Amino acid sequence: MTIGLEGGPRADPATATAVIDVAAERSRTAGTAGRHYFNAAGAGLVSDQVLEAVVTHLRREQRMGGYEAANQVADEIAAVYAAAGELLRADADEIALFDSATSGLRAVFDALRLGPGDTVIAPRSSYVSQALRLLAMQRHDGVRLVVVPNGADGSMDLEALDRALAGAKGRVVVSAVHVPTSSGLVEPIAAIAAVARAYGAWTVVDATQSVGQIDVDVRAVDCDALVTTGRKFLRGPRGTGLAYLRRGALDGIGSWAPDVRGAVWTSEDEWTMDVTARQLESWESSVAARLGLGVALREAVDRGPAATEAHLVGLGARLRDGLAAIDGVTVADPAASPSAIVTFTVDGVASKDFSAGLRHRRIDSISVPASHAQWDLGARGLQSVVRVSPHVYNDDDDVRALLDGVTRLATGARA
């Protein structure tokens, strides 16, 4: 065993191929046929069972109407909360469901109702949607925003975080990131939360790029809230997301943005809020998509979070080593990057064009522009990077195809 960035035991990536049955994963993932898919960090390929759950419920709605169909699957919807809690080591009543991670983060920060005199502290690895929200809170709500510099390994400098917390005023929230969109970096979220806890600050974790590829235990991390999406490494449908909210975390803050889903209108001008995480939810949702998410969550639990992490960390390391050996290719990940996300640049070729070239070879990657990560890519002087992100359905043939495709395209660019 090795020790992971969270301070707990982490499975050795070298043993991963003996744990994950890649052939079985491919056999139940129709999207693997005929192409080499390396964009799980954008949208993972759903399994055939996830698709079937979505389509079956849409047909149910067609036959009997949306409300009646939802009533018929009430137990299955409840099971989605339970599966999410099991995956994250939380209780079902600490889970809220959303249509995206962005909506979940917005709901959490809306509930905190920060204003003049309050402080939000963020890492340079923040994704564009959250960074822009924090900048808007600074501009329009009078919230003080502090962006913490990176340490030598590219992750948040914990000593700088400590200094920022020591100088913070009002109510203080650390807007942490586990894995960013712009590199394979893995931030030490448990250590970040521990520093925040010492100052009585909240910790809200954006785990959009980590849940489903990295084993996340919210009790061990000891954060107040954690938000993720369904469509990426969880391999759920688009239009799904979820949040963990520590039980009692919002006690004493008061009611906020009440909705019929999370509140009860009790008299002329009074209402009560749900005491569970569902106080963050709104009424309308795609029941079909949530049922698909439930299947994806159950598959992630049954596959084994630790085994999945070991397998994907091993794949990421293999791709980094292979790409670094190709002339004209520069791996762009910082040192603290033990994840399945791998980023690189190619001499003389814009990342968008290089990704398009790979797609012509039926190899799916994506170009991430600096506009999605100005505090990271922009600060490093990178206009964009090519990002590849494998999952448990990628086999040796996929890896060979990717490395061969990059080699041929990079060689052609230098010719």
pLDDT at 128 over 90: yes
pLDDT at 78 over 70: yes
Q: Which residues have CB under 8 Å from 284's CB, separation 6+?
A: none
Residues linked to residue 119 through DSSP beta bridges, in sequence order: 144, 172
Give the pLDDT confidence score for residue 38 in this predicted structure. Answer: 98
Question: What are the CB-based long-range contacts (under 8 Å, 24+) for 134-139?
Answer: 134/175, 137/109
pLDDT at 126 over 60: yes
Strands (DSSP E) contained in 167-300 are 172-177, 202-206, 225-229, 241-245, 263-267, 270-273
More confident residue, 178 or 255: 178
Contact (CB, 8 A) for 239 and 285:
no
Give the pLDDT confidence score for residue 415 in this predicted structure. Answer: 58
Contact (CB, 8 A) for 329 and 406:
yes
Question: Residue range 66-92: average pLDDT?
Answer: 98
- Residue 123, φ and ψ in degrees, nearest 5: -90, 165
Please state, as a whole number, how many other Cβ atoms lie within 10 Å of the Cβ of residue 187: 23
- CA torsion sign for 404, 410, 414, 415 is positive
Amino acid at 122: A
Helix (H, G, I), strand (E, B) or coil at 164: helix
pLDDT at 24 over 60: yes
pLDDT classification of 15: cutoffs 50, 70, 90: very low
**Among 87, 7, 2, 19, CA closest to 307:** 19
Q: Which two tokens stand for residue 410?
A: 């990079």
For residue 211, the 8-state DSSP code is B
pLDDT at 9 over 80: no
- Cα separation of 342 and 305, whole Å? 20
Q: Over pLDDT 70: what percentage of the chain?
A: 94
Give the pLDDT confidence score for residue 412 in this predicted structure. Answer: 83
Q: Report CA dihedral (245, 290, 297, 340) to the nearest 10 degrees.
A: -90
Domains within the chain, CATH numbers bracketed: 2-45+305-414 (3.90.1150.10), 49-302 (3.40.640.10)
Question: Residue range 33-39: average pLDDT?
Answer: 97
b/e string for 279-298 if b means 16 or more Cβ within 10 A?
bbbeeebbbbbbbbbbbbbb
Question: Residue range 117-125: average pLDDT?
Answer: 97
pLDDT classification of 19: cutoffs 50, 70, 90: confident
Q: What is the pLDDT of residues 282-317, one digit of tens each?
A: 999 999 999 999 999 999 999 999 999 999 999 999
Residues linked to residue 121 through DSSP beta bridges, in sequence order: 146, 174
Please state, as a whole number, how many other Cβ atoms lie within 10 Å of the Cβ of residue 317: 18
Q: What is the pLDDT of residues 318-360, one digit of tens each?
A: 999 999 999 999 999 999 999 999 999 999 999 999 999 999 9
Give the pLDDT confidence score for residue 255 in this predicted structure. Answer: 61
What burial class does residue 45 get, using C-beta atoms within 10 Å of its C-beta: 0-12 exposed, 13-18 middle, 19+ buried? Answer: buried
Give the pLDDT confidence score for residue 414 in this predicted structure. Answer: 65
Question: Residue range 387-410: average pLDDT?
Answer: 98
Give the pLDDT confidence score for residue 129 in this predicted structure. Answer: 96
DSSP H helical segments within 65-157, as ranges?
66-72, 74-88, 101-112, 128-141
Q: Report CA dihedral (158, 160, 161, 167) to the nearest 10 degrees.
A: 150
Q: Over pLDDT 90: what percentage of the chain?
A: 91
Give the pLDDT confidence score for residue 245 in this predicted structure. Answer: 97
Give the pLDDT confidence score for residue 257 in this predicted structure. Answer: 75
Q: What angle do CA 254, 256, 260 make, to 5 degrees?
A: 120
Q: What is the pLDDT of residues 223-273, one digit of tens each?
A: 999 999 999 999 999 999 999 999 999 987 766 778 899 899 999 999 999
Q: Report the range of poorest mean pLDDT among 51-60, 121-130, 405-414.
A: 405-414
More confident residue, 9 or 292: 292
The structure tokens 């924090």 sit at: 134
Give the pLDDT confidence score for residue 4 in this predicted structure. Answer: 34
